[in-house]
């Protein structure tokens, strides 16, 4: 695997970054929303991100299911049906010329001029394709991440449903600064009871005695998280979503995180202490290899063209 090169037309000849907004495709530098959009003013929006690898969307149907469910739960509306959405996403990738891409779809509440009633707002749909990005860089993926367990509490699901992908990230940002101050590279937050939830843009897995556990509540039900559970069923590996404590995480044989932005990535230090042998574990490696193999499987991926 090689990391996609960042850039845009005019910078070392890289393909343009393309966006869709207000019914038109345009360079991403020209894609702007109003400062009066409630997506900006109030974080009143939902979004999803699907990646393209070697010219194929990975698990596109799962991402669309989650995005459309979020749109419905927030009482938003799109200007087209599911197939229309697929065509917009494909066209963003085609026009970008990227074989490896990070493709985002967003629906905001939009503007409600002279009104505080969300029913008066005109919803806004935006999509764009940019070069594929990683939660962990190449060195971190090779040696494993140094992760901190934060004292910051994740926004509780009773207040904001984490299953609707959202931009409520101030808790994550506070946790990241805490982690950086402690010499860590990334962070996982806890819930009001002190149990582990998720990190900024990723889910968490712990392996103990050949069994996988991922936090069951207070988390976005990530598509890569779902994919790992699917792979475990295929391989006959015990795996479940359940309560995961910080103490159990520190006793784990292996730890890894999952994200559309990078797949399965090992964690080898928790709060400065080594996880297991202090190196990426064999089960993490086995799942990672199968995960990338599935990117060319027509049952798991969709061609852009």
Q: What's phi and psi for 173, nearest 5 deg?
A: -65, -40
pTM above 0.75, yes or no: yes
Q: Which of 6-20, 103-117, 162-176, 214-228 shows the lowest mean pLDDT across its residues?
A: 6-20
Residue 130 has pLDDT above 90, yes or no: yes
Rounded-to-integer distance, Cα 161 and Cα 128, Å: 25
What is the arithmetic mean of pLDDT over 194-207? 98
Which domains, ranges and CATH numbers included, belong to the chain? 18-131 (3.30.470.10), 138-296 (3.20.10.10)
For tokens 């530098």, what's the residue? 29
What is the arithmetic mean of pLDDT over 133-158? 96
Rounded-to-integer distance, Cα 129 and Cα 305, Å: 15
Burial category of 77 from C-beta neighbours within 10 Å (exposed 0-12, middle 13-18, buried 19 and up): exposed
- pLDDT-derived band at 4 (thresholds 50, 70, 90) equals very low
pLDDT in the model for residue 15: 65
- pLDDT-derived band at 8 (thresholds 50, 70, 90) equals very low
Provide the percentage of residues in the chain whose pLDDT is more than 90.
Answer: 94
Tokens of 36: 């009066």
Residue 47 has pLDDT above 50, yes or no: yes
What is the arithmetic mean of pLDDT over 35-43? 96
Eight-class DSSP state of 43: -
Q: Which of 11-15, 16-20, 129-133, 274-278 shows the lowest mean pLDDT across its residues?
A: 11-15
Centre a 10 Å sphere on the Cβ of residue 58 and count the other Cβ atoms it contains: 25
Check: CB of residue 301 under 8 Å from CB of residue 57. yes
């Amino acid at each position: 695997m090689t990391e996609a090169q960042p850039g845009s037309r005019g910078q070392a000849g890289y393909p343009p970054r393309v966006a869709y907004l207000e019914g038109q495709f345009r360079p991403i530098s020209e894609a702007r929303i109003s400062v009066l959009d409630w997506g900006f003013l109030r974080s009143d929006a939902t979004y999803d991100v699907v990646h393209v690898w070697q010219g194929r969307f990975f698990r596109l149907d799962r991402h669309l299911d989650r995005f459309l469910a979020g749109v419905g739960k927030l009482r938003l509306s799109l200007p087209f049906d599911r197939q229309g959405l697929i065509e917009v996403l494909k066209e963003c990738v085609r026009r970008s010329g990227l074989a490896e891409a990070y493709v985002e779809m967003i629906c905001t509440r939009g503007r409600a001029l002279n009104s505080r009633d969300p029913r008066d707002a005109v919803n806004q749909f935006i999509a764009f394709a940019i070069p594929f990005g990683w939660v962990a860089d190449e060195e971190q993926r090779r040696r494993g991440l140094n992760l901190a367990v934060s004292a910051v509490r994740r926004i509780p699901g009773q207040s904001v449903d984490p299953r609707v992908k959202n931009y409520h990230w101030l808790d994550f940002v506070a946790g990241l600064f805490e982690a950086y101050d402690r010499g860590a590279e990334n962070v996982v937050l806890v819930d009001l009871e002190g149990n582990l939830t998720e990190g900024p843009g990723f889910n968490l897995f712990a392996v103990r005695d050949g069994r996988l556990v991922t936090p069951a509540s207070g988390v976005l039900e990530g598509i890569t998280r779902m994919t790992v559970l699917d792979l475990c069923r295929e391989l006959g590996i015990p795996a479940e979503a359940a309560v995961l404590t910080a103490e159990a995480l520190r006793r784990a044989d292996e730890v890894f995180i999952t994200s559309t932005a990078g797949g399965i990535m090992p964690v080898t230090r928790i709060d400065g202490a080594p996880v297991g042998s202090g190196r990426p574990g064999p089960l993490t490696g086995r799942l990672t290899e199968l995960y990338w193999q599935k990117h060319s499987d027509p049952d798991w991926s969709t061609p852009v063209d």
